[in-house]
């Protein structure tokens, strides 16, 4: 159960990180 929680948190963290990188690369500077 704890492993599932950690796995879910990791997925959310990675998704936020990729969204941040995508948003940063969309802006041209």
Which sign does the torsion angle of CA 17, 21, 23, 24 carry?
Answer: positive
pLDDT tens-digit profile of 6-20? 999 999 999 999 998
Structural domains of the chain, count: 1
Domain that holds residue 29: 1-29
Q: Is the pLDDT of residue 3 over 70?
A: yes
CA atoms of 10 and 17, how far apart (whole Å)? 10
What pLDDT is recorded for position 15?
A: 96
Would the pTM count as exceeding 0.75? no
The owner of tokens 């599932």 is 4
Q: Is the pLDDT of residue 29 over 60?
A: no
Three-state SS string over 11-25 comes to HHHHHHHHHHHHHHH
What pLDDT is recorded for position 24?
A: 80
């Amino acid at each position: 159960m704890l492993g599932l929680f950690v796995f879910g948190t990791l997925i959310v963290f990675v998704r936020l990180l990729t969204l941040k990188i995508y948003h940063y690369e969309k802006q041209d500077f």
